[in-house]
Structure 1
Amino acid sequence: MTDPSSGTPELFELPRERAEIAPGAVHVPDWLGLEDQRELVLRCREWAVGPVPMRHVVLPGGGRMSVRSTTLGRDGTPYRYLRTGGDHERAPDMPPWLSALGRRAVLEAYGAGSPDARDHRPDTALVNFYDAAARMGMHQDKDEASAAPIVSLSLGDACVFRFGNTQTRSAPYRDIELRSGDLFVFGGPSRYAFHGVPRILPGTGPAALGMKGGRLNLTLRMTGRAGPAR
């Protein structure tokens, strides 16, 4: 890892510790090994050119997001704004292995005794790509009918992840550096906390991923919708 402020390698970097950022919000550094990260990057490349291609989304209010996004599972429901056209465009299925990874992530964060961990079965995913200039404003994840935890996986360049409170976009909040392979889970009292990405740290991703810059973020979610995904 390179210190972004100096551009020089950190020779004696201390191991990063698992931390509960707020009640129900858990950061697990280096959760994904390098091989798992590489596999996810390859899958993201496939999804990026799939039937619902990765693109700059125009939100219902007319704003254009600086990140590029695509979706998996539930035919894009409830994320209708991720579509480019008519109902014939179908998001790829949520792969069972990715849903299983989401459940394993919640088990890692909360432990096997947690009801959230036992019952967690993500049926949709959002995949976002941040270039060096991309940002994500403070927002709440409220599109889902379910209040199940959100699983966030980071790949590539590190970012400053701003995790706030459930009442307002402004302070108090806490800034956390999320690096490639990191896991962040938030649920329970923190499920509807405002959060965002004010900054990407270019040149900090593992060269072995072959990404040539930028950050990929996968968020795995339960929509809470009854019935089959199709």
Structure 2
Amino acid sequence: MQGSLDFPPNTEERHCLADGAWLLKGFALVQAEDLLATIAEISAQAPFRHLLTPGGQRMSAAMSNCGRYGWTSDRLGYRYSETDPLSGARWPAMPESFRALAVNAAASCGYPDFEPEACLINRYVTGARMALHQDRDEADFSAPIVSVSLGAPIRFLFGGPQRGNKPASWLLEHGDVVVWGGPSRLFFHGVAPLGQRAAHPLTGALRYNLTFRKVG
């Protein structure tokens, strides 16, 4: 069973979402403040922007990227690019602190060889959401996805291999990390709208999400 581990007795902060998928409560909490500061530095180079779906709809979460590749979307489709479409420059390099967090989280869930090539940075304001979708723009589905939550809490929706599978709802709080791969790598997932009262002392009503992926 890929991604399934025998954890020590004190496992109340690790939740199995599905075969190969784990919620690690507070995994990034110690370094969360530094991560937020680094996000500010990255977004100064590659500003947050609201992408368009191929159908022309504006995404409610604003996005930036760092790493070898950045994920982007417009009327031409979803894709990865080595350069920022707004500036034509290469995306900011992925900080070692980001890479190490993603590698360590993946390894703790049974994925020891994860090497992220892209980090998508999403910024959510009140009411912003992410519809159920699969992460399938990558060429390599053998690598897991690592997702880090910072700031205001939000509800993570984790379904199954079919869009019609009813998703389970999990509360993601500041410093939580979700890892999924293997049998659940292509499961549908998303987040419910960020609530009107959702806030955190470090970010106010904003929520940030780092999503690490191996592209090729």
The one of 180, 185, 189 equivalent to 2:183 is 189
Match of 1:127 in 2: 121
Query: Displacement, 1:171?
Result: 3.0
**Where does 1:70-89 land on structure 2 (aligned, <5 Å)?**
70-76=64-70, 78-80=79-81, 83-85=84-86, 88-89=88-89
> What residue identity is the alignment partner of 1:213?
A
> What residue identity is the alignment partner of 2:206?
G
> What residue identity is the alignment partner of 1:40?
L
The one of 158, 163, 166 equivalent to 2:158 is 163
The percentage of aligned residue pairs carrying the same residue is: 37
Match of 1:6 in 2: none
Question: TM-score normalized by structure 2?
Answer: 0.84
Question: TM-score normalized by structure 1?
Answer: 0.79
Cα 1:205/1:212, change in 2 over 3 Å: closer
Match of 1:53 in 2: 47
Unpaired segments ≥5 residues, structure 2 = 1-10, 72-78
Match of 2:102 in 1: 102
Query: Displacement, 1:126?
Result: 0.2
Distance 1:65 1:195 in 2: 16
Query: Displacement, 1:221?
Result: 1.0
Match of 1:26 in 2: 22
Query: Displacement, 1:93?
Result: 1.3
Match of 2:208 in 1: 216
SS in 1 for 2:60: strand
Distance 2:13 2:193 in 1: 22
Equivalenced residues, count: 198
Match of 1:172 in 2: 166
Match of 1:9 in 2: none
Match of 1:69 in 2: 63
Structure number having the greater helix percentage: 1
Residues 152, 204 of structure 2: 8 Å contact kept: no
Unpaired segments ≥5 residues, structure 1 = 1-14, 111-115, 225-230
Q: Which has the larger radius of gyration?
A: 1
List structure 1 runs of 4+ shifted beyond 4 angstroms: 202-205
